Structure 1
Amino acid sequence: MVAARAEMVYTNVRAGPNYYDPAFDYMERLVRDGRNRMKFSRLIEYLFNNQYRMTDVDSILYLPVYDKFGRYRGEDFRAAFELKYKSERTFNGFELELNGHQFLRIRRLAQLLSIPVYYFVNIGNRKFIMFDVLHVRPRFEKRYEGKKRDYYAILDVDELIVSDGLEELRTDLELLLKGGRG
């Protein structure tokens, strides 16, 4: 995201500060938000002597609700999303690797919530993979050596919703959110 904003500024530098200052403001907010998340997480661990751990859900989708007169009446929460990005060079096309511990926490959260929880994985801005965490059966295994060694949830791509491009993504998201696929 930050790289895309930087590219936008570079290609449109003649537009002047009114064009590119908002892009830099946005990038600065992202950095401040990241620092705030880290500080809050460390603060919880410090204040409670490692009794708690934190994770996040990246996005909550809701539908504004209006009465018959058009007055705002509240929100109808529809779904929660855990967002991931993978480059095309790190994605083999056959299976999706996710952090296994995080997947298990997200799935447990989904069992407690009254709305579906989805993973949304952007593969190089060309392919999009989605699934409801309660409707998949990953394999769990330790993989790799060194710093990359970790516990992974492995999902077969054939069992997931895979959208090739934005038109398919729109159709697939619409079906997913209306309960037609999962």
Structure 2
Amino acid sequence: MASRTELVYRDRVSVDDAFTYFKRLVRDAENRVKFSRALQRARRGLGVHMYVTDIDSLIFQYLSYRNVRGFRFTAFELKNVNPRKAIVDGMLKVNGKQYQAHYWLSKMAGIDFYYLVKANENFYIWNVSRIYPEFREHGVGDAKDLYAFIPLEDVIKVEEWELPGTLRLLLWGDKL
């Protein structure tokens, strides 16, 4: 069976292994919906307001560098967006409630939390603990919601081929 690790590290993966991996992703999405619905039912009548979000990737790193030992966490939210809809008046638009949850998690836990937003061939990257955006309602009908608007001048814009070097710099700076 193909795992995400196999897809990352193996040069070739069989079609069967790839389909097995994608079936797992679908089941994972189904479980997330079931979990969210169960939480909604559990809170009925309690007057509890909540917002469910996930973290796309969480890095747990053992540190052992220059006699410094310990560990650190870094979280990532990965997004694919249509730039015609997500870039509004020189600002990048993302879900506001989710952004607020990620911002407060980064502050309360004392961890770096990066957004990596892919729009066409470019990635827009920023650390939520360092950028507090403008929040406002946007959209019409079902698409009307609270959004966070991040000025493009405050984010790092890189092409896909530059992403590994940029991540290396953000995560480890000049240590490597």
- 1:129 counterpart = 2:127: no
Matching residue of 2:103: 107
Q: C-alpha deviations, 1:77-121, integer Å up to 9, x for none?
A: 330011111134434483200111111111111111132111111
Segments ≥4 residues shifted beyond 6 Å: none
* Contact 2:123 2:160 (8 Å CA) reproduced: yes
Looking at structure 2, the residues matched to 153 and 53 of structure 1 have their Cα atoms a distance apart, in angstroms, of 15
Q: Which residue of 2 aligns with 1:3?
A: none
Could you tell me how far apart the structure 2 residues matched to 1:138 and 1:47 are?
32
**Residue aligning to 1:155:** 150
Identity, % of aligned pairs?
32
Larger Rg: 1
Letter in 2 for 1:119: Y
Structure 2 CA distance for partners of 1:46 and 1:38, relative to 1, 3 Å: same
Deviation at 1:58, TM superposition (A): 1.4
Q: Give 5+ residue unaligned stretches, structure 2.
A: 1-12
In the alignment, the residues of structure 2 paired with residue 114 and residue 153 of structure 1 have an alpha-carbon distance, to the nearest angstrom, of 21
Is 1:117 the counterpart of 2:110? The answer is no
Report whether the alignment pairs 1:35 with 2:30: yes
Partner residue in 2 for 1:58: 56
The amino acid across from 2:115 in the alignment is: Y
Query: Could you tell me the TM-score, scaled by structure 2's length?
Result: 0.76
5+ residue gaps in structure 1?
1-17, 67-73
Q: Secondary structure at the match of 2:117?
A: strand
**Contact 1:62/1:75 (<8 A) preserved:** no
Structure-1 residue corresponding to 2:4: none
Aligned residue among 65, 71, 76 for 1:81:
76
* Counterpart pick for 2:137 among 142, 159, 168: 142
Native 8 Å contact 2:115 2:128 kept in 1: yes
Displacement of 1:157 in angstroms is 0.8
SS of equivalent residue, structure 1 residue 82: strand
Superposition RMSD in Å: 2.7
SS at match of 1:178: helix
Alignment-derived partner of residue 12 in structure 1:
none
**What are the residue-to-residue correspondences of 1:10-25 with 2, within 5 Å?**
19-25=14-20
Give the TM-score normalised by the residue count of structure 1. 0.74
Letter aligned with residue 103 of structure 1? Y
> Distance between the aligned counterparts of 2:57 and 2:111, measured in 1?
13
Amino acid at match of 1:97: K
1:173 to 163, 167, 170: 167
